[in-house]
Amino acid sequence: MVVFNLSGLLALTPFISCVSAQLASGYSIGPLTTSGAKWGVKVCDVTNYGAVADKSTDLGPPLLAAFEACIDGGVVNIPVGDFAMSTWVTLTGGKAWAINLEGVIYRTGTAGGNMIYIEHSTDFEIYSSRSSGAIQGLGYEFHSQGEYGPRLLRLYDVINFAIHDIALVDCRFSQLFTSGGEVYNMIIRGANEGGLDGIDVSGFNMHIHDVEVTNKDECVTVKNPSNHFLIENIHCNWSGGSCFGSLGLDTDIYKITYSNIYTVSSNNMLMLKSNGGNGSVSDCLFENFIGHGNAYSLYIDAFWTDLALQPGNGVLYTGLTFSNWKGTCAAGNTRPPIYLNCPSTEPCTGIVIEDFAMWTDSGSAEYYKCIDAWGEGECLKGGSAHTAYGTSTITVTAAPTGYSAATMPNDLAAPFDISSSIPIPTIPTTFFPGATPATKRAYP
């Protein structure tokens, strides 16, 4: 397990936050230096270091050389064209720098690991000023061999950064162990196979918004430890769905907001998963969720067997509010749209479920199931006690008022097969019904 070290994050440059109260006030989000200023310092074009847009010449060494030339500030430019990448790069350090990806990087190497790994860096940005840049992992070539292939992009210990206006296609995707970051105007496309991560994120003070994810694994998932995240306007389009975890020892997650989350034909709308362990998930808000045809909707599973049982009495889930959920689930009579399975040794407490209106696509009834879960709403046990009581269920025999919800115009009709290449998509202009992206696409 990779653990993100939160020490030193208080050195982030202070500012007055105006994005959301859930983000930490007094700390900056995103790069400290504008992209325009970075262009004015220095431009390190990879074609000046040996890169050729012929879909054959290895981009790896030129990319590393261009980074080393711009490590103290400037822009590493990957121009329009098709570039091959057969060796992976680790870009360590750097301050007030950026990668402008205008072309398409095609994976041609066969190693695992991370194609582009950025670590111990500050004031960083990777983006496409034409909204045309992409990394094409061609993961189907690995899937046929029973392998996942490399991650396309990974950031570790990167402070004050942004990732935006690029597409990541057909392989495992981005892992972020970072702080003070913003991720937006992105599309991530993967095949219908578990293990193909979307965005996994851990750290402090993160704003992730206006992102679409297709895969059969995690959409936008919070890892441990994390605090002060705002995750909004997310389209999980045939995906595993958004999650917390898996969580075990020393869990420390708090002040996380998910807002305007649209999930279609996925494993779940939101799942908090653990197996034993200790620590807590607390003071989080999950509001304005729309679902259509998902296997699970609101799901807490403290007995997630895909994770080996961890020492401890269990992770405490406390002070969590689920507000304004609507739409449909696939089969609410067999997989309840509310399913809270808390440990008897550490019951959930302070849970609030309000304005919950989900109905089933099949059958004429559904049920809600709460196990050792205390709070207000639906099948929760009322009161302030923090003791085990067993199981509480509610059967619903009529569609709740207001369950009908809008759909998205770019919902996929079917997932992507693991045996063929996935086309590079255009970055959408909307990621939640009726919502305009907080930041316009870079182009046009």
Q: What are phi and psi of 64, to 5 degrees?
A: -65, -40
Among residues 78, 114, 72, 60, the alpha carbon closest in space to that of 97 is found at 72
Reference 328, options 382, 399, 277; nearest CA is: 399
Domain definitions of the chain by residue range: 15-216, 225-412+426-435
- Residue ranges, the chain, pLDDT below 50: 1-20
pLDDT of residue 22: 81
Q: Would you say the CATH fold of 225-412+426-435 matches that of 15-216?
A: yes
Phi and psi based region of residue 185 (left: phi greater than 0; alpha: psi -120 to 50; beta: remaining): left
Is 228 assigned a catalytic role?
A: no
Q: Which two tokens stand for residue 125?
A: 């940005």
Nearest Cα to Cα of residue 441 among 84, 184, 123: 184
Residue 292 among the catalytic residues: yes
CA–CA dist 416, 215 (Å, integer): 8
Choice among 157, 217, 301, 372 that is catalytic: 217
pLDDT given for residue 7 in this prediction? 34
Of 143, 292, 301, 372, the active-site residue reads 292
pLDDT at 405: 98
Q: Would you state the structure tokens that stand for residue 154, as one six-digit string?
A: 């990974």
- Say what the pLDDT of residue 126 is: 98
Instruction: Report pLDDT for 196.
Output: 84
- Cα dihedral 244/232/425/112 (nearest 10): -30
CATH of 15-216, one of 3.30.70.890, 2.40.30.10, 3.40.190.10, 2.160.20.10: 2.160.20.10
Tell whether pTM > 0.85. Answer: yes
Q: What is the fold, at CATH topology level, of the domain defined by 225-412+426-435?
A: Pectate Lyase C-like (2.160.20)
Look at residue 21 in the predicted model and tell me its pLDDT.
54
From residue 377, give the alpha-carbon distance in Å to each of 251, 346, 373, 394: 26, 20, 11, 11
* pLDDT for the residue 116: 97
